[in-house]
Amino acid sequence: MIDPYYVSLANQASGSALAALHYGYPIAVFVYYLVSSAVAVCTLQTKSADEGHKRQNVIKWLFLFSVLTFLVQLLALILQGVAQRRFPLEQDLTIGLLSCILVFGVEFAGLSDSPNPVWYPFVGSLALALVFEPIVCVLSLTAVPSESLSFVELFVTSTAAARCLAFALAFALYFEGGWTAQKERGTDSERQSLLKPGENDTSDANKQPSDEEAGEQQQNGYGTTETSEDESADANKTASTERVESPWERREREAREQMEKRLKEKGNWFTYARSFMIFFPYIWPVNNRPLQIRVGLVALCLLTMNFVNLLIPRQMGILLDSLSGANGENAWVQVLLFGGLKLVASEAGLSLLRQWLWIPVEYYSYDAISTAAYSHVLNLSSDFHDSKSSSDIMMAINSGQSISNMLDSICFRAIPMIIDMIVAFIYLSVMFGPYEGFITIATSVIFMYIATSMIARLRLARKGEVSAWFEEHYVRQAGIQGWTTVACFNQTEYEERRYSKAVRNRVTKSQTVQLGYILSYAFQFLVLLSGLLAGAHLAVYQVLGGQATPGQFMVLLTYWAQLVAPLNFFAGLGRSVSRDLIGAEQLLDIMQTKPSITDKEGAPPLRFSGGHVSFENVCFSYDKKKEILKNVSFTATPGMTMAFVGATGAGKSTILKLLDRFYDATEGAIYIDGQDIRDVSLSSLRNQIGVVPQAPVLFDDTVMNNVRYAKLDATDDEVYEACKAASIHEQILGFADGYQTRVGERGVKLSGGELQRVAIARAILKRPAIVLLDEATSAVDTETEHKIQEALRRLCEGRTTFIVAHRLSTIMNADRIMVVTGGELVEQGSHEELIQANGKYAELWSKQIFVKPQDKQDSADGKPISKARKAVNIVNDLPSETAKLELAKVKSKQIRIKASESDASGSEDSSGSEDSEDSTDTLVTPGHKKEV
Ligand SMILES: Nc1ncnc2c1ncn2[C@@H]1O[C@H](COP(=O)(O)OP(=O)(O)OP(=O)(O)O)[C@@H](O)[C@H]1O
């Protein structure tokens, strides 16, 4: 016979094991589910899970079934307790059942929400359940002698057994579904059409965007007419496909794509986050001990704050109990202590100290990130600046703030709040027992779940609102910026209608979003209130039963109030971190871009000795697809003026850009005084070169400062001299504030000619050794041009000069003229030589020279000048004497060519393919490549 002592010992042991299992089972499943889900997110498996599981629906309902069985068990337990007047119910069993309802309920919601979830958190939970459930079942049965098993116990055991079966079935279905899917994939691939999906699916091809998408996408661009509401519904369907992405959407899309691409490359969030370490020296004050100490003290403040947050509710309870005499404490002392704690926790206490300590650290990081990003951008090369819009770059530099925001959210808010919540949970569990702890956790979990899913649901509406907001902004800005165009075309009413439509659209969307948020907050509040009521009822029950004091009840209420802020914060944390991450990503993208034009290590400065420039077989392309320059070779001796002419887009300006090293030649080399420009330091090279660009850009500053930009230490007199040389001095003196007149953004307050002359003055002030003039006089009238020519002559005197010009009259005196066609040098020589050669240059020249005398005659006769002639006349601005002379040259040349052609054909007839004697007329220029 078994000793009853041992039986009771065994019963006790199995009872404690059962109690431990009741708590341990849901905890194990929940922790596993949380950790594995976090791992899935961090290792990007949520992104790769792109195919739904065949049996997902059945498995989902099996999860719901299990939740219901827990609920039935709980109800049975309560009914049994009522029937047997056995209160309180077994705590471990009740908490265990409640926790299981919560845990499996969350998993059921997870399966319902996601069409293609990552499965191992669910499958692992099922496996754990299959381990725990039978043990709990067996232990529960052994705890009760078989002869005294009541109907309720039998019912509960059968429910548990049914749940076990459901779990096993779900587990098996998961593997069965995966296996069949694999099999089907195998056979499917053999049966698949050779056409890509969609190619043979006309229904898909004709698929229209949803009304909401179409509504969001429809925009009324310039050149479209207003449509009625009904028409617009139809128009949406076709117009939506042509809709142009707003700059904001493009920026966000690009940053998100970049982030996803980088995430994929890195493989998981941890290595991805490591790429942000590039910002570490800008956030952590590496070499600044006092700032480091401040950071340490801030961390200390945060920990103290956690502690004080715990003490305040406790002190409140003690104070209340001291008032009712429940604890025998002196109420005056307690109220003083309470006041002291409140002061420490207030904005005038620890918070003040923390912010005071943090301000220099925050500004250090702002200072460091902004200046580093700005300097990095300025040092990037032309290819980068050409490929990005300036507003994108500026937005990215401003994104430095996002990194500080992200750190602030995570370090100073999220971590302390997590600590606060854990402490609250433990404290309430200890003070009021595990029921109260469970209520806290359950409320937090349900609140977070509801809040995050509501935010996710509002995302689309919010996106629509932001797009509408940008649209409104864009329409307003375009109307105001393009006011002149609006006024000229008398479209004020059209713009007003356009704007009012944009505003209405935005207001409607904002109202929807706002309503969504209000409802969402109301719902979240209800969840919190339910938790509070449940917790308060439990606490009242305990206070009335004498297990707790009214002071402790007060502690509970205060803690609940303290929990609301962290919960709200966590609900929105994901959204704010993702927004900051996108901003930081844009900056990271820029910071990781390396300049393509850099100094070689230890590159010496350029040793200038006269300005001998030579291009040797230079080839170049901007994008490696289209060759822009092909084997360009020429030499300019010191002091020589070399001009490039040719059709637009031929590559003339590109030659100048290569010389100034805005780009490097893809093949061949450029030498200045025998040194490859890639081997000398960039700054010494640019110091020697002065550029007057095609479209000079001035800063929104005074004329004086704009000219002085070329030589920051130039005196006022030097600036005046330069302006006199550029024939702009008198005009500047005529401005309202003379040299102190502001020129407006990019110099808009100056005329094209004034702008160019200011740019020339700037180049003159720099006194460069090599001068690059890219259409430097294209925007000035003939009279001014003659003045500028004189100024340029002075600027270029003794300096190697390269000129790009369309107006051939401006370069006819150049030492050598190069004709560029399709990126190749097809002719070179002096003006006279090229006219003699009668090639491309002579053709261009004759086009510019021929019209004017005829026009003059027409106008002299009083006949109207034809439109075509007027247009050509613009380029022919030679003085009439010179024009006549040039015309005579070209005409006589043509007559001679014709004569030589007829001679040649005659001699060809008689002497076969021998060259004609008059061959000097057909090709005379030195270095002339192409025979005419
Ligand atoms: N930053 C750039 N990126 C890509 N292609 C470019 C860039 N700048 C110029 N190009 C292309 O290179 C070709 C040559 O341009 P370039 O400005 O050198 O011509 P150009 O002869 O000076 O013309 P124009 O007389 O009109 O100034 C053109 O086809 C132009 O579209």
Q: Are 173 and 59 in contact (CB under 8 A)?
A: yes
Alpha carbons within 13 A on the beta-carbon side of 354: 20
Distance 648 CA to ligand 1 centre (A): 8
Closest residue by Cα to atom 4, ligand 1, is: 622
Structure tokens that stand for 685 in this block: 């090279």
Distance 651 CA to ligand 1 centre (A): 6
Distance 689 CA to ligand 1 centre (A): 21
* pTM metric for this prediction: 0.65
Q: Where are the beta strands (DSSP E) in 597-713?
A: 613-620, 629-636, 641-646, 667-672, 675-676, 689-692
Q: Are 801 and 770 in contact (CB under 8 A)?
A: yes
How far apart CA 103 and CA 132 sit, in angstroms, is 14
pLDDT at residue 671, rounded to an integer: 92
How far apart CA 351 and CA 500 sit, in angstroms, is 46
Convert 310-350 into a string of H (helix), E (strand) and C (coil): HHHHHHHHHHHHHHHCCCCCCHHHHHHHHHHHHHHHCCCCH
Q: Are 795 and 760 in contact (CB under 8 A)?
A: yes
How far apart CA 328 and CA 492 sit, in angstroms, is 81
* The one-letter amino acid at 64: L
- Average pLDDT on 364-377 reads 86
Between 793 and 679, name the one with better pLDDT: 679
Burial class of residue 722 (count of CB atoms within 10 Å of its CB; 0-12, 13-18, 19+)? buried
* The most confident of 139-153, 757-771, 836-850, 858-872, by mean pLDDT: 757-771
Question: Using CA of residue 14, residue 18, residue 24, residue 30, what is the dihedral sign?
Answer: positive
Check whether 917 has a pLDDT greater than 70. Answer: no
Closest residue by Cα to atom 25, ligand 1, is: 648
Please list the alpha-helical segments (H only) found in 244-389. Answer: 247-266, 269-274, 280-283, 289-324, 331-345, 350-378, 382-387
List CB contacts of 311: < 8 A, sequence separation 6 or more: 341
pLDDT at residue 393, rounded to an integer: 79
pLDDT at residue 415, rounded to an integer: 83
Distance 823 CA to ligand 1 centre (A): 10
Atom of ligand 1 nearest to the CA of 657: 18
- Average pLDDT on 889-906 reads 52
Give the least confident one: 248-257, 458-467, 847-856: 847-856
- Average pLDDT on 376-387 reads 86
Helix, strand, coil share of the chain (percent; to 5): 70, 5, 25
Q: List residues bridging with 54 in a β-sheet.
A: none
Between 291 and 883, name the one with better pLDDT: 291
pLDDT at residue 530, rounded to an integer: 85
Check whether 210 has a pLDDT greater than 60. Answer: no
Give the least confident one: 220-224, 277-281, 511-515: 220-224
Q: Where are the beta strands (DSSP E) in 752-890?
A: 770-774, 800-804, 816-821, 824-829
For helices 550-591 and 400-407, angle between their N-to-C axes, nearest 10 degrees: 150
In 179-199, which positions are buried (b, 16+ CB within 10 angstroms) versus exposed (e)? eebeeeeeeeeeeeeeeeeee
Atom of ligand 1 nearest to the CA of 644: 21
Decide: 649 in ligand 1 pocket, CB within 6 A. yes
Distance 848 CA to ligand 1 centre (A): 23
**87 band by pLDDT with thresholds 50, 70 and 90:** low
Structure tokens that stand for 444 in this block: 């937090």
Check whether 494 has a pLDDT greater than 90. Answer: yes
Cα-atom radius of gyration of the chain, to the nearest Å?
41
**647 band by pLDDT with thresholds 50, 70 and 90:** confident
Closest residue by Cα to atom 28, ligand 1, is: 649
Distance 663 CA to ligand 1 centre (A): 13
pLDDT at residue 229, rounded to an integer: 43
**926 band by pLDDT with thresholds 50, 70 and 90:** very low
Closest residue by Cα to atom 9, ligand 1, is: 654
Decide: 688 in ligand 1 pocket, CB within 6 A. no
Decide: 221 in ligand 1 pocket, CB within 6 A. no
Check whether 109 has a pLDDT greater than 80. Answer: yes
From 644, 652, 806, 820, mutation site for ligand 1 pocket: most ligand atoms within 8 A of C-beta: 652
Give the least confident one: 106-110, 249-253, 466-470: 249-253
How far apart CA 501 and CA 479 sit, in angstroms, is 14
CB atoms within 10 A of CB 790: 13
What backbone torsions phi and psi does residue 568 show, to the nearest 5 degrees?
-60, -40
Distance 834 CA to ligand 1 centre (A): 25
Check whether 678 has a pLDDT greater than 80. Answer: yes
Q: Are 22 and 103 in contact (CB under 8 A)?
A: no
Question: Using CA of residue 41, residue 45, residue 48, residue 52, what is the dihedral sign?
Answer: negative
Long-range contacts of 234-241 (CB under 8 A, 24+ apart): 236/211, 237/208, 237/209, 240/209, 240/213, 240/214
Give the least confident one: 653-657, 672-676, 775-779, 808-812: 775-779
Check whether 336 has a pLDDT greater than 90. Answer: yes
**432 band by pLDDT with thresholds 50, 70 and 90:** confident
From 653, 662, 818, mutation site for ligand 1 pocket: most ligand atoms within 8 A of C-beta: 653
Q: How big is the chain, counted in residues?
A: 932
**573 band by pLDDT with thresholds 50, 70 and 90:** confident
Burial class of residue 821 (count of CB atoms within 10 Å of its CB; 0-12, 13-18, 19+)? middle
From 620, 648, 654, mutation site for ligand 1 pocket: most ligand atoms within 8 A of C-beta: 654
How far apart CA 794 and CA 764 sit, in angstroms, is 9
What ipTM was predicted for this assembly?
A: 0.96
Number of helices (H) and strands (E) in the chain: give both, helices first.
Answer: 35, 10
Distance 769 CA to ligand 1 centre (A): 25
How far apart CA 397 and CA 584 sit, in angstroms, is 9
Distance 622 CA to ligand 1 centre (A): 9
Decide: 650 in ligand 1 pocket, CB within 6 A. yes
Between 917 and 532, name the one with better pLDDT: 532
Distance 390 CA to ligand 1 centre (A): 20
Q: Are 757 and 765 in contact (CB under 8 A)?
A: no
- Average pLDDT on 491-505 reads 93
Atom of ligand 1 nearest to the CA of 646: 21
Closest residue by Cα to atom 30, ligand 1, is: 649
pLDDT at residue 498, rounded to an integer: 93
In 260-273, which positions are buried (b, 16+ CB within 10 angstroms) versus exposed (e)? eebbeeeeeeeebe
Q: What angle do CA 877, 878, 881 make, to 5 degrees?
A: 140
Distance 727 CA to ligand 1 centre (A): 30
* Residue that the structure tokens 């960039």 belong to: 682
Q: Give which of 154, 178, 174, 179 is closest to 73, Cα–Cα.
A: 154
Decide: 648 in ligand 1 pocket, CB within 6 A. yes
Between 197 and 521, name the one with better pLDDT: 521
Distance 838 CA to ligand 1 centre (A): 27
Closest residue by Cα to atom 16, ligand 1, is: 651
> What's the chain's average pLDDT?
77
Distance 654 CA to ligand 1 centre (A): 6
Decide: 823 in ligand 1 pocket, CB within 6 A. no
Convert 696-754 into a string of H (helix), E (strand) and C (coil): CCCCCCEHHHHHHCCCCCCCHHHHHHHHHHCCCHHHHHCCCCHHHCECCHHHCCCCHHH
How far apart CA 44 and CA 735 sit, in angstroms, is 63
Q: How far is CA 374 from CA 399, 441, 595, 731, 807, in A?
A: 12, 47, 14, 36, 39
Interval 454-469: pLDDT, tens: 777 777 787 788 778 8
Structure tokens that stand for 693 in this block: 């660009």
Q: List residues bridging with 620 in a β-sheet.
A: 629
Decide: 387 in ligand 1 pocket, CB within 6 A. no
How far apart CA 409 and CA 416 sit, in angstroms, is 10
From 628, 656, 811, mutation site for ligand 1 pocket: most ligand atoms within 8 A of C-beta: 628
Distance 650 CA to ligand 1 centre (A): 7
* The most confident of 246-255, 625-634, 916-925, by mean pLDDT: 625-634
Q: Which helix (H) or strand (E) holds 25?
A: helix 4-42
Distance 653 CA to ligand 1 centre (A): 7
* The one-letter amino acid at 508: T
Distance 643 CA to ligand 1 centre (A): 17
Between 653 and 246, name the one with better pLDDT: 653
Decide: 51 in ligand 1 pocket, CB within 6 A. no
Decide: 653 in ligand 1 pocket, CB within 6 A. yes
Share of the chain above pLDDT 90, in %: 13
* The one-letter amino acid at 371: T
Closest residue by Cα to atom 3, ligand 1, is: 622
Check whether 200 has a pLDDT greater than 50. Answer: no
Q: What angle do CA 864, 782, 764 make, to 5 degrees?
A: 165
> What's CA 257's distance to the chain center, in Å?
9
Q: Are 548 and 431 in contact (CB under 8 A)?
A: yes
Give the least confident one: 50-54, 472-476, 591-595: 50-54
Check whether 186 has a pLDDT greater than 70. Answer: no
Give the least confident one: 64-78, 561-575, 714-728, 758-772: 561-575
pLDDT at residue 343, rounded to an integer: 92
In 55-72, which positions are buried (b, 16+ CB within 10 angstroms) versus exposed (e)? bbeebbebbbbbbbbbbb
Decide: 652 in ligand 1 pocket, CB within 6 A. yes
Closest residue by Cα to atom 1, ligand 1, is: 386
How far apart CA 667 and CA 629 sit, in angstroms, is 10
Distance 649 CA to ligand 1 centre (A): 5
Decide: 210 in ligand 1 pocket, CB within 6 A. no
Closest residue by Cα to atom 17, ligand 1, is: 653
Interval 626-635: pLDDT, tens: 888 998 999 9
